[in-house]
Structure formats: structure tokens, C-alpha cells
Amino acid sequence: MPTTTWNRHHILSLADFTPTEYNAILQTTASFQEVLSRRTKKVPTLQGQVVANLFFEPSTRTRSSFELAAKRLSADTLNFASATSSMTKGETILDTAKTYLAMGCDIMVIRHTCAGVPNAIATEMDRLGERVSVLNAGDGQHEHPSQALLDLFTICSIIDPVNPRLELLKDKKIAIVGDILHSRVARSNIWSLTASGAELHLAAPPTLLPKLFADYVNDSGVSELNGKRKLFIHWRLEDALRDADFVMTLRLQKERMTAHLLPSLREYHQMFGITRAKLDWCKPNVKVLHPGPVNRGVEISSDLMDDPEFSLIQSQVTSGVAVRMALLYLIGSGKAV
């Protein structure tokens, strides 16, 4: 493993991540990718530690990816799904978390439909003087740090597979297209991708991309990074895609839509769906990302999604395990048993 100093105890948001921290994650992930390419894909790093996956909302890839990452690090894993838990009997979220704490849990990976739940649990653990770390696996419309970090790793390692690092993205043009309003993935990527010096262009119909997103980065109170970030919003897809190096498309999150924000899915696909024809606006070797799950034929055409020349969707899932190993390692290695 590379020698890095890591001081962060919880990972809840990327808003105040430093370039040094991003590079520590990218470097550590590259080392774990090497481990995952071996015949024996397991290391004893977190032996004796307990990682609990507390998912209060459905998930396929994030939950499985965290579970596999913890197992590859030899941690003991506990999986919780709210539908089959004592929450159905009225137990509160904090009492559920304290139950896992009492079993000796070292790291809690938390997903919840409400923004702020991982922060609330982390605050309570700190108040109690407990050493347990909390990792946000997606909270409402707030943030999804591990997804943005795996997106960052996927993009950097396409440019330099041997030494993926933040500086590689300086002056690249990256577009994020789709349901930005409801997306925690976009809200985390806004931090990581602008910290890299890339130009980040958001595109969606106005109902899914309010103007205030233009101020999201610079009015955030993260003063040391103000002014150095390049974030643009567009209501016309072509403006965002022109000469782009990378295009990330996002799912229309119907479960979070409380009003009729689009005339029809057909019209949305025509105007904002990513297809091979629309990629003609981009750089010739453009690559396409999507965090999944995908509505085929809505935010991306089915053939493009499966086209290995353009699509990085499967690599994102593969990188996800190594990135989450890196996160568990970095926050877990200070907790030797």
C-alpha cells in the first residue's frame, strides 16, 4: 500500500475534500486494483474489524460493492435491510445504529432516503465518544461520495491506467446530463470533478436543473476553493456536449419526483437522451459514464450503453470495489484491534 497520511474519520460529503485526499484515494485504489487482479484477491488488512452495511433504501451495486470490498479486506460484514429489520416494529434509526455499535461495529456504511441521516449518526457516535466511522453510501438528494470517487477513478485511469491522479483532469471538459435536481451523485461529482481543474458542464431541462446550481460551488462557504472551480449550467444539450472529453448521464429518478416535470419520456430522450449521433458534438474519443441503474432508451440509448468503444459503465462497477476497499482501508487502518 502507498504510504499516505489520512486524518478523516468519517466520509460524509466531498465538499471539503482536498486534492491530497483525492490523490490518496486514487493511489490506494490503484494498489487494490492490482490486488483484485491476482488469483487470491484478498488481503488481511481489516481482519477482526466489523463493517455493517445499513441500507435503509434499496440498492444493488453500492451495497454489493461495499460488502465485497469489506470481504476482500478480510473484515466481518453485517448486512441490514430495513424491510426485514426491527424498524418494522418501530425501532428508531439511532437505536438501530446503537445496536450495531453494541456488537462491536467498527465502520457503518449508511444509505438512507433522507438527506443528513449519515451525518446525524456520525454526530451521535462522536458525542458518545465511540471510535466507529460512518461512510455515507447515499443520503436523499444530498451526496453519494463513494460513487463520485469511483467516477473520478474511472475517468483518471482511462487517461493514465498506471498512475491515476487528479491533475490528469486539468482542462478536460466533462458533461453531466440528466436529472441533476434529484441527484446526489451529481452533488458529489460537482465537488470532485471541479477540484480536479476540469471544466464541469451540467445539462438538463430547466425543471431538472434550477439556476441556483450555478452558485452551488462558489456560494458554498468552502472558501479556500472559491474561484478556482469551473462549473457551468446549460439548458441546451449541445452546449454542454460540444468538445466534451467525458459525458456522464443520470437516471430520471421518478421515485423522487413530486410533480410532473417532463412532458414525456419520449420527448426527454429526443432532447437529452445520449445517443451515438449526439456524441458527434463531443471529442472523437469521448467516453460515456452512468452510475446505474439505467433506464435503457431514456437517458441513454440501449446500443450506446452496451458499446465498449464508448461506454465505461461496466468499468465503473468494477472500479467501485477497489475504490470502496480504499475508503474502508483508509478510515479503518487506524483502528487496529
User: Under the criterion CB under 6 A, does residue 62 sit at the interface with ligand NCD?
Assistant: yes
Of 153, 156, 136, 152, nearest to 62 by C-alpha is 136
Supply the minimum distance, in Å, between the C-beta of residue 262 and ligand NCD.
16
Which residue among 118, 138, 145, 164 contacts ligand NCD (CB under 6 A)?
A: 138
Three-state SS for 123? helix
Query: Do 49 and 337 contact (CB within 8 A), yes or no?
Result: yes
Q: Please list every residue from 141 through 180 that binds ligand NCD, using CB under 6 A.
A: 144, 147
Query: Do 244 and 175 contact (CB within 8 A), yes or no?
Result: yes
Pick 197 or 292: Cβ nearer ligand NCD: 292
Pick 245 or 299: Cβ nearer ligand NCD: 299
User: Under the criterion CB under 6 A, does residue 184 sit at the interface with ligand NCD?
Assistant: yes
Pick 197 or 297: Cβ nearer ligand NCD: 297
Supply the minimum distance, in Å, between the C-beta of residue 40 and ligand NCD.
28
Q: Give the count of beta carbons closer than 10 Å to the beta carbon of residue 7.
A: 7
Supply the minimum distance, in Å, between the C-beta of residue 66 and ligand NCD.
11
Supply the minimum distance, in Å, between the C-beta of residue 206 and ligand NCD.
20
User: Under the criterion CB under 6 A, does residue 256 sit at the interface with ligand NCD?
Assistant: no
Pick 72 or 251: Cβ nearer ligand NCD: 251
Grid coordinates 474519520 are at which residue?
9
Pick 203 or 225: Cβ nearer ligand NCD: 203
Supply the minimum distance, in Å, between the C-beta of residue 325 and ligand NCD.
17
Considering CB under 6 A, how many residues would be counted as binding ligand NCD? 11
Q: Is 223 exposed, middle or buried (0-12, 13-18, 19+ CB in 10 A)?
A: exposed
Supply the minimum distance, in Å, between the C-beta of residue 328 and ligand NCD.
17
Which residue among 22, 291, 321, 331 contacts ligand NCD (CB under 6 A)?
A: 291
* Backbone φ and ψ of 110, nearest 5°: -120, 130
Non-local (6+) Cβ contacts of 249 within 8 A are 176, 177, 178, 273, 274, 288, 289, 290, 299, 300
Find the residue with minimal CB distance to ligand NCD: 251
Pick 144 or 287: Cβ nearer ligand NCD: 144
Q: How far apart are CA 233 and CA 214, in angstroms?
A: 6
* Backbone φ and ψ of 104, nearest 5°: 90, 25
Got the DSSP string for 264-321?
A: -HHHHHHHH-B-TTGGGGS-TT-EEE--S---BTTTB-HHHHT-TTTB-HHHHHHHHH
User: Under the criterion CB under 6 A, does residue 72 sit at the interface with ligand NCD?
Assistant: no
Q: What is the DSSP letter of 79?
A: E
Which residues of the shown chain bind ligand NCD in the complex (CB under 6 A)?
Answer: 61-62, 138, 144, 147, 184-185, 251, 253, 291-292
